[in-house]
Structure 1
Amino acid sequence: MVPVEVLGVRQQQDQEIVVVLLDAAAELAVPIVIGAREASAIAMAQAGVTTPRPMTHDLLRDLLGAVGVDLDRVEIVALDGGIFFAELVLSTGVRLDSRASDAIALAVRTGSPVLCSAEVVASAGVEVVDLAQQREVEKFRDFLDHVQPEDFTTGGGPVEPSPDDTPP
């Protein structure tokens, strides 16, 4: 199991809603397709929004507190046929099967860590690309696409090596 950060909820271009988990060590993001209600529950909890009456995930949090049980962690344990499987690990040692979206919504409300199976990260993770780095790579590719041999000469002659370029 590897710790992941709940980056947030995003709507993709194809209108699917995903919650994005980040494995910073591997620089991989795991997008999990979720429903609109679960997305709203996660986003509201991350924003610190409270409702006049408790939502289902708030009720679960409050119920755990009322019986003196903590949510130790959430584990995303498997990916099968495009479905993510999660478990709630309670302070009593009890493990409960859960949908990944519900487990994440509860973890965000309780401040509990979210862990993900390394196999799930490896199979569902997508590489995180730094936008600034991506722009630099695009500039360099453009340069390579348009560079001519004569661009490496000045005034029609060869480029003089700098003192740093001369062999010792």
Structure 2
Amino acid sequence: RKISKTTKQDYRGYRAVRTNKSSPELIKMELDNIVIDNNSEMPVILLKESNGNRYLLIWIGISEAYSIAMALSEVKTPRPMTHDLMLNTLQQLKINVESIEISQIVFDTYFAFINLRLSDGNIIKIDSRPSDGLALAVRIKCEIFAAKGVLDLMGIEFKNRIEKEKQFKEI
């Protein structure tokens, strides 16, 4: 959610990207990693453009990072975690998670939608924090997208693996 000062770009004064169109151009993304920002010591989700070299860096809370890391590691808990409960509820209601969409950024906050397919076939968009949407995405293995305008504005490229490792450490 938050933009750190650790990245090479200067984000002060950037304009907000709002995608008010009903169907903005979307770019397929992959969850590359969850890392720790070396300066802020906060977790960061690295979303990588599927057919490119750009990354979206999304700072998230510790509990959300833990939830995503648990799902990626396929760790089963004796009782459902919050995101497991949400997914179980949707499944019991026969609602499918179609995709997660990083839709806009306003100042330093990313916005997202969880796209749900109802039992009648209609798709609805539910406003979501990106971290909550991504916590569902890793559990259900659904597609992740970013609005082209968001990726164009906030996407960064690392020159090499070493540059990436200087900014972040593995969880």
The answer to whether the 8 Å contact 1:88/1:95 transfers is: yes
Question: Percent identity, aligned pairs only?
Answer: 31
1:116 alignment partner, one of 130, 137, 146: 146
Q: List alignment gaps of at least 5 residues for structure 2.
A: 1-25, 164-171
1:24 alignment partner, one of 50, 54, 67: 50
- Structure with greater helix share of residues: 1
SS at match of 1:64: helix
Aligned equivalents of 1:79, 1:69: Cα separation in 2: 27
Aligned equivalents of 1:116, 1:33: Cα separation in 2: 16
1:81 alignment partner, one of 107, 128, 135: 107
Number of equivalent positions:
133
Partner residue of 2:31?
A: 6
SS at match of 2:72: helix
Partner residue of 2:75?
A: 49
Tell me the C-alpha RMSD between the 2 structures.
1.4
Q: Matches of residues 82-101 of structure 1 in structure 2 within 5 Å?
A: 82-92=108-118, 93-101=123-131
Q: List alignment gaps of at least 5 residues for structure 1.
A: 135-168
Q: Does 1:105 align with 2:140?
A: no
How big is each residue's C-alpha offset from its partner over 1:103-145, in whole Å with a ceiling of 9 and x where there is no partner? Answer: 000111111111001111111111033348x8xxxxxxxxxxx
Aligned equivalents of 2:42, 2:75: Cα separation in 1: 23
Aligned equivalents of 1:90, 1:25: Cα separation in 2: 25
Aligned equivalents of 1:119, 1:112: Cα separation in 2: 22
Higher RCO, 1 vs 2 (CA within 8 Å, ≥6 residues apart): 2
Bigger Rg over Cα:
1
Aligned equivalents of 2:65, 2:155: Cα separation in 1: 19
Aligned equivalents of 1:2, 1:128: Cα separation in 2: 19
The TM-score with structure 2 as length reference comes to: 0.74
